[in-house]
Amino acid sequence: MTTFKNQAPERKLTLAEVLEIFAAGHLPLKFSAYDGSVAGPSDASLGLDLKTPRGTTYLATAPGDLGLARAYIAGDLDMLGVHPGDPYDLLKALAEKMDFKRPPARVLAQIVRSIGIEHLKPISPPPQEALPRWRRIAEGLRHSKHRDAEAIHHHYDVSNTFYEWVLGPSMTYTCACYPDADASLEEAQDNKYRLVFEKLGLRAGDRLLDVGCGWGGMVRYAARHGVKTIGVTLSKEQATWAQKAIAEEGLTDLAEVRHGDYRDVRESGFDAVSSIGLTEHIGVQNYPAYFRFLQTKLRTGGLLLNHCITRHDNKSGAGAGGFIDRYVFPDGELTGSGRIIAQAQDVGLEVVHEENLRHHYALTLRDWCRNLVEHWDEAVAEVGLGTAKVWGLYMAGSRLGFETNVVQLHQVLAVKLDNAGGDGGLPLRPWWSA
């Protein structure tokens, strides 16, 4: 393995050595580049291959995960030893010692001399990349209805066919809940809906509002059990798919999915509200208005189930990293479960239960990657190689994040009280099975 501590700064580095530096060095990985250079153990099963000068520019102008992602998605950097639909093993190997901090000034100067100043001029990113946050101002104020719709369109209106291959028959793009280690993805997703349904204490004849309903999985589950349900999503593709599924299942008397903003729902007095995977898109500064709105939709004694990805603590910044923000969830923000609970409490909801399902999300992402690998050729034909690579990279990286407690998944259950603190006669918890 090449080391650089004792090398004179004047020596010109090979491109493979530069790649090794940006990938943290001292890893059991092999590196190769278009100038014919190699670094790392020759017998390593995992590694990176820098294929073009454009890839060098991407790496040099955006050191860190964004530069690597740009080069990889554009086809200028190959990941060796893994399938593009599931590069988990390589990402895990890199993450063990990955450090995306800028190299020391002396090493950085040596890198610049080695690669040439011409590679420090930024170039256009791959077409799959969203505008930087400062440029999105032109699309409207952050988390305005228009800008939120644009952000949702970027991520969710890829292709319903593509999502069918990745998500499987449930068309559920949120964390599943595995009843046991051997459960299938479909069993786990059905079990998640069962868990939410039971936590909300729903019975035939009740009314449910599901905000950010996706392809209507929770809407249809509740309707099958006799609950009158309204779902709402900002994604036109999701709404169209869900409306067709509702009709095919003969659930139109009980289930409705609307294409629109949850803030435009006028009905109130619901027995329960479910928010499964929406909070990540709301914006932390908008939490007070978000939870206040949901509280107004409930009858006294009604229950709210908020299911969302969170930070592992309550101190980290809310913004996403470069790759996630530009390729996956534009304007997405995460915070700790403590802030979620505090905001729910501050609008007069009583939090009665919460739990962390982060290990279940790691398993969910594992199974989504398996589906993508199985349908890789069809997926590439449907959405293009670049977009398919974004999804493999994003899901495998997210799996690693949940496994290592970088992010978590929390379900928070709360009830709307009356003025005297009455909860409508809730039974002693838990009234649901695990």
In terms of domains, do 157 and 284 share one?
Answer: yes
In terms of domains, do 261 and 156 share one?
Answer: yes
For 99, the domain range is: 15-113
In terms of domains, do 262 and 308 share one?
Answer: yes
**Identity of the amino acid at 382:** E
pLDDT value at residue 318: 78
Helix, strand, coil percentages, rounded to 5, for the chain: 45, 15, 40
Whether residue 423 lies inside any domain: the answer is no
Percentage with pLDDT > 90 across the chain: 71
pLDDT (average), residues 230-246 = 96
Residue whose C-alpha is closest to residue 48's, from 387, 400, 115, 27: 27
In terms of domains, do 382 and 285 share one?
Answer: yes
Whether residue 9 lies inside any domain: the answer is no
pLDDT (average), residues 355-364 = 98
pLDDT (average), residues 95-120 = 77
pLDDT value at residue 198: 98
pLDDT tops 50 at residue 154:
no
**Which helix (H) or strand (E) element contains residue 226?**
none
In terms of domains, do 245 and 354 share one?
Answer: yes
Tell me, what DSSP letter sits at residue 203?
Answer: -
Q: What is the pTM of this model?
A: 0.90
Within the chain, how many helices (H) and strands (E) appear?
A: 16, 11
* Domain total in the chain: 2
Q: Which residue has the higher pLDDT, 403 or 118?
A: 403
pLDDT tens sequence across 339-354: 999 999 999 999 999 9
pLDDT (average), residues 173-198 = 97
Rounded CA separation 147/140 (Å): 5
pLDDT tops 80 at residue 142:
no
Whether residue 187 lies inside any domain: the answer is yes
pLDDT tops 60 at residue 143:
no
In terms of domains, do 109 and 155 share one?
Answer: no
Instruction: Kindly indicate the confidence band of residue 158, based on its pLDDT and cuts at 50, 70 and 90.
Output: confident
Whether residue 386 lies inside any domain: the answer is yes
In terms of domains, do 77 and 156 share one?
Answer: no
Instruction: Kindly indicate the confidence band of residue 120, based on its pLDDT and cuts at 50, 70 and 90.
Output: confident
pLDDT tops 50 at residue 155:
no
Q: Which residue has the higher pLDDT, 317 or 114?
A: 114
In terms of domains, do 201 and 260 share one?
Answer: yes
In terms of domains, do 155 and 84 share one?
Answer: no
pLDDT tens sequence across 361-419: 999 999 999 999 999 999 999 999 999 999 999 999 999 999 999 999 999 999 999 99
Rounded CA separation 65/67 (Å): 6
pLDDT tens sequence across 273-284: 999 999 999 999
Whether residue 340 lies inside any domain: the answer is yes
Whether residue 224 lies inside any domain: the answer is yes
Rounded CA separation 141/35 (Å): 46
**Which helix (H) or strand (E) element contains residue 348?**
none
pLDDT tens sequence across 47-104: 999 999 999 999 888 877 889 999 999 999 999 999 999 999 999 998 876 555 566 7
Backbone angles phi, psi at 22, to 5 degrees: -70, -20
In terms of domains, do 399 and 267 share one?
Answer: yes
Give me 233's structure tokens. 């999503």
Instruction: Kindly indicate the confidence band of residue 5, based on its pLDDT and cuts at 50, 70 and 90.
Output: very low
Average pLDDT across the chain, whole number: 89
pLDDT tops 80 at residue 314:
yes
- Who contacts 164 (Cβ-Cβ below 8 Å, separation ≥6)? 171
The CATH code of the domain that includes 364 is 3.40.50.150
